[in-house]
Each structure stands twice: as structure tokens, then as C-alpha cells.
Amino acid sequence: MINAIFYILIFIIGTLFGSFSTLAVYRIPRHEDITHKHSYCPHCNHKLLFLDMVPILSYIFLGGKCRYCKRKIRIRYLLLEILTGIIFLLFAMSLNINIESIEKGKIVYLIFGILYLIGMIIIAGIDKENIKISKPILVYEIVILSAYMIYLYIVENTNIYRYVIYLLAMLILFFIDTIKLKKYKVDNYKIEVIILAVIQALFTYSYGFVITAIITLLAIAFYTIINKMLNKPKKKNIINTTRRDK
């Protein structure tokens, strides 16, 4: 029973961070503050009350509309809150945490893992909307990784040479990306994706990273094939129409 309550709490925490992620994904590309500025409706700019921001429930009870201007709220906000809650829940369950006999190492890894997942969700959201890796969040992920390395070395007495090598490689890549940004006034998307991949490999370990990479590549391939199949008839119709017009 206690474990069930713990996992329900993890899901609720996930939905709260999911709600925060939707705010971050919207504001970070616009260079808006994500911590001190009050939440507002992007259509009417009305400040939102606490009851307007309860994850999942507010969207359902408000019928997917703003309480003030009645404009529709994109369903992606609801989906991201639910998805984040599920991701947090599955992550906690994968660690097989038992509240009755708590293992310090698992709890610490859970905390660092949650902080890591928040950054990854925000990065994925911004990348989907803007095809861009957010550099501030990338720095945030490197800081979280560095803090976890320090914990492993000081508290757990773990051999962290592998982590140090990866971290140095990331810092070199980050330095090259920064130099290129200053010189050409443009981010190097490929370098940032590589840095992100290294961060994923370190937090999820090699086995988890390989599975994630394979699933991602299969999803991209599947999406590309379906997209081409759907667009083919349209192109043919356009060609036939132009021929008739001639």
C-alpha cells in the first residue's frame, strides 16, 4: 500500500513537471523568464490562477479552453503532462524502489534521473517546435551530469574515469560549437545532437542508450515512409492537373 502511494506521488510529480515543461518549451525560444514570471494565457495575456494550472484536471474541467478568452488550448499541453507523469512512473518502477527498505543509491539516482528527464523533455519539445537544441538546457544537463559524477566519486567511491572522459569530450564539443556560433552566428545542430547523445549514454548506460537510439531511428524511418506514401498521390494529382490545364 505504501509503495502504491509512493508511485502515485511520482506520477503526480511527473504531471507537475510536465506542466512546467510546456511553459519552458513555449518561453525559452522567446527568451522569456521561466521561473519568476507569472503564468499567463498566450492569447489574451490574462494571468492564470492556481485552479487554471492544475495538471490534467484544469484542462478537462475547462473543456480545453481558456477560462477568460475561451480560446482553445492546444491538446499537446494535456498530452505532455500525462506523458511526463507516465515517464516518471515507469522510471521509478524500473528502479524497483521499496519504501519499506529504502536504498540510498536508488533514491539518489531517482532524483538525478528526474532532473535529467526534465531537461530531456524540454529539449525534445523545443527541438520539435523549432528544430533547435536549446543551449541553456544543454548546459543544465551537463551541470546535472557533473553533480552526479561528484556524488559517485565522493559518496559511492565509484570509478568515474569513463564519466570524466565523456565529460571532457562534451566540453570540447561544446567549446567548438560556441566558437562556431561566435564566428558564423549560427548553432551547429549536429554537434549539439552528439553532445546530447553522450549525455543520454551516460545517464541511461550503454544498453539503455542503444535501445533508445534504435527505437528513435525506427520511429523516424517509419514516419518518413508513411509521410512519403501519403504525399505521393498528391504530387501525381498536381502533375495531372497541370497537364490538363496545358
- 110 in a domain, yes or no? no
The verdict on 13 and 77 lying in the same domain is yes
For residue 152, give its domain range. 133-246
The verdict on 23 and 68 lying in the same domain is yes
Q: How many angstroms separate the CA atoms of 190 and 131, rounded?
A: 11
The verdict on 67 and 1 lying in the same domain is yes
> Are the C-beta atoms of 230 and 221 separated by less than 8 Å?
no
Q: How many angstroms separate the CA atoms of 52 and 61, rounded?
A: 9
- 128 in a domain, yes or no? no
- 125 in a domain, yes or no? no
- 107 in a domain, yes or no? no
- 204 in a domain, yes or no? yes
The verdict on 50 and 150 lying in the same domain is no
Residue 162 confidence (pLDDT): 75
Contacts of 92 (CB under 8 A, 6+ apart): 6, 7, 10, 110
The verdict on 175 and 221 lying in the same domain is yes
Which of 99, 115, 145 is the C-terminal boundary of a domain?
99
The verdict on 137 and 242 lying in the same domain is yes
Query: With 0-12 CB in 10 A as exposed, 13-18 as middle and 19+ as buried, what is 24?
Result: buried
Which of 99, 121, 151 is the C-terminal boundary of a domain?
99
pTM of the model as a whole: 0.76
Which of 75, 99, 123 is the C-terminal boundary of a domain?
99
pLDDT digits (tens, 9 = 90+) for 144-178: 988 988 888 888 888 878 778 878 888 888 788 77
The verdict on 94 and 34 lying in the same domain is yes
Nine-digit cell at 172?
570540447
Q: How many angstroms separate the CA atoms of 79 and 95, rounded?
A: 25
The verdict on 157 and 237 lying in the same domain is yes
Nine-digit cell at 201?
549514454
Q: Which has the closest alpha carbon to 148: 102, 177, 113?
A: 113
- 115 in a domain, yes or no? no
pLDDT tens, residue order, the chain (246 aa) = 788 889 999 999 999 999 999 889 888 988 888 888 888 888 888 888 888 888 999 999 989 898 889 888 888 888 889 989 998 998 888 888 888 777 888 889 899 989 998 998 898 888 888 878 888 898 898 899 889 888 888 888 888 787 788 788 888 887 887 777 666 666 677 777 777 777 877 777 655 556 556 655 665 566 567 667 766 654 444 445 445 544
The verdict on 140 and 233 lying in the same domain is yes
Alpha helices in 95-188 (DSSP H): 104-130, 135-154, 161-184
Q: How many angstroms separate the CA atoms of 35 and 190, rounded?
A: 29
- 42 in a domain, yes or no? yes
Contacts of 95 (CB under 8 A, 6+ apart): 106, 109, 110
The verdict on 148 and 244 lying in the same domain is yes
Number of compact structural domains in the chain: 2
- 206 in a domain, yes or no? yes
- 32 φψ region: left (φ > 0), alpha (ψ -120 to 50), beta (else): beta
Q: Quickly tell me which residue has 492556481 as its cell.
A: 50
| Distance of alpha carbon 191 from the chain centroid | 18
The verdict on 245 and 143 lying in the same domain is yes
Q: How many angstroms separate the CA atoms of 226 and 246, rounded?
A: 32
The verdict on 86 and 144 lying in the same domain is no
Looking at the DSSP assignment, which residues form a beta bridge with residue 65?
A: 72
> Are the C-beta atoms of 74 and 58 separated by less than 8 Å?
no
Nine-digit cell at 75?
491538446
